[in-house]
Amino acid sequence: MSRKRSGMNLRAAGAARALATCWLRNAIVPPKGRRLVVLIYARYSTEEQNALSIDQQIGFCRKFLEAAGLADCELVVLSDEGISGEHVHRPGIDQVRDGIAAEKWNVILAEDSSRLFRNETACIELVGAAVDRELRVICINDYVDTAEEDWEDRLHEAQHHHSRSNTYTSRRIKRAHDALWEMGAAIGLLRPGYRRKPTHPATAREPERGLFFDEIDREWAAIVHEAYTRIAGNEPTESVAQWLTKVGLPKTANSKTPDWSDTNVISLIRRSIYRGVETRRNTVATKHYGSGKRKQKPNDPDKVQVRDMSHLRIVSDSLWHQANSAIDANCRGKNGRGCGKSSLVGVPRDSRGPLSGVFVCGVCSGADHPGKMYAGEGRTGNSYRCQHAKKNVCWNKATCERGLAHERIRDAVTDALECIRGDLGPLLSRLSEFAADERQQEERAVELRMRIDEHQHAIEKLAVAIETTDEPPEILVQRLAQREEDLAQVTAELDGLQSRVRVPTEAEIRNRIDEMKRLVAPMDRHANLVLRQMVMEIRAVPYRQFGGEKVVLRATFAVRIASVLPPAAYATLVARYGEDFGDAFGLVPCCVDLFNRSAGPKYGLKALKLSELGRGLTAIGKKLRITKRKANIAVQYGRQLRAAGLSNPFLELTEAPETASRDAAPARVLTISRAKSIYFSSR
Residue 317 and residue 233: Cα distance in Å, rounded? 15
What is the structure's pLDDT at 23?
A: 62
Domain 194-347 has CATH 3.90.1750.20: yes
Contact 555, 592 (CB under 8 A): yes
Which tens digit of pLDDT belongs to each residue from 418-429? 999 988 888 888
Asked if the model's pLDDT at residue 248 lies above 90, the reply is yes
Separation in Å, CA 640 to CA 213, 329, 605, 652, 668: 83, 51, 10, 18, 15
Asked if the model's pLDDT at residue 462 lies above 70, the reply is yes
Q: How confident is the model at residue 103 (pLDDT cuts 50, 70, 90)?
A: very high
What is the structure's pLDDT at 496?
A: 62
User: Kind and range of the H or E element at 247?
Assistant: helix 237-247
Asked if the model's pLDDT at residue 237 lies above 80, the reply is yes
What is the structure's pLDDT at 352?
A: 66
Mean pLDDT over each residue of the chain, to the nearest integer: 81
Residue 289 and residue 582: Cα distance in Å, rounded? 53
Q: Residue ranges of the domains in the chain?
A: 3-166, 194-347, 359-439+485-593, 599-648+653-682
Which residues, listed in sequence order, are joined to residue 109 by a DSSP beta bridge?
40, 138
Q: How confident is the model at residue 513 (pLDDT cuts 50, 70, 90)?
A: very high
- Residue 98: closest CA among 78, 124, 121: 78
Contact 547, 671 (CB under 8 A): yes
Q: Looking at the domain covering 3-166, what would its CATH class be?
A: alpha beta
Asked if the model's pLDDT at residue 28 lies above 70, the reply is yes
Percentage of residues in the chain having pLDDT higher than 70: 81
pTM above 0.75, yes or no: no
Which tens digit of pLDDT belongs to each residue from 543-581? 998 888 889 999 999 998 988 888 877 777 776 666 677
Percentage of residues in the chain having pLDDT higher than 90: 33
Which tens digit of pLDDT belongs to each residue from 431-456? 887 766 666 666 777 777 888 888 88
Buried b (16+ CB within 10 A) or exposed e, 614-630: ebebeebbeebebeeeb
Q: How many whole angstroms from its chain centre is CA 3? A: 55
What is the structure's pLDDT at 576?
A: 67
What is the structure's pLDDT at 626?
A: 92
Q: Tell me which amino acid residue 76 is.
A: V
What is the structure's pLDDT at 446?
A: 77
Asked if the model's pLDDT at residue 524 lies above 80, the reply is yes
What is the structure's pLDDT at 575?
A: 67
What is the structure's pLDDT at 160?
A: 86
Contact 398, 550 (CB under 8 A): no
Asked if the model's pLDDT at residue 582 lies above 60, the reply is yes
In order, the DSSP letters of 101-167 are HHT--SEEEESSHHHH-S-HHHHHHHHHHHHHTT-EEEEGGGTEETTSTTHHHHHHHHHHHHHHHHH
Which tens digit of pLDDT belongs to each residue from 167-207? 666 776 777 778 888 888 888 889 999 999 888 887 777 77
Q: How confident is the model at residue 19 (pLDDT cuts 50, 70, 90)?
A: low
Mean pLDDT of 626-654: 91
Mean pLDDT of 98-120: 92
Q: How confident is the model at residue 247 (pLDDT cuts 50, 70, 90)?
A: very high
497 vs 279 pLDDT, higher one: 279
What is the structure's pLDDT at 367?
A: 62
Contact 251, 227 (CB under 8 A): no
Which tens digit of pLDDT belongs to each residue from 110-138? 999 999 998 888 999 999 999 999 999 99
Q: Tell me which amino acid residue 121 is.
A: T
Separation in Å, CA 114 to CA 17, 97, 141, 147, 549: 21, 16, 10, 19, 77
What is the structure's pLDDT at 206?
A: 76
Mean pLDDT of 40-63: 79
The size of the chain, in residues, is 683
What is the structure's pLDDT at 647?
A: 87
What is the structure's pLDDT at 658?
A: 76
What is the structure's pLDDT at 51?
A: 60
Q: How confident is the model at residue 289 (pLDDT cuts 50, 70, 90)?
A: low
Which tens digit of pLDDT belongs to each residue from 359-369? 999 998 766 66
Asked if the model's pLDDT at residue 507 lies above 70, the reply is yes
What is the structure's pLDDT at 164?
A: 75
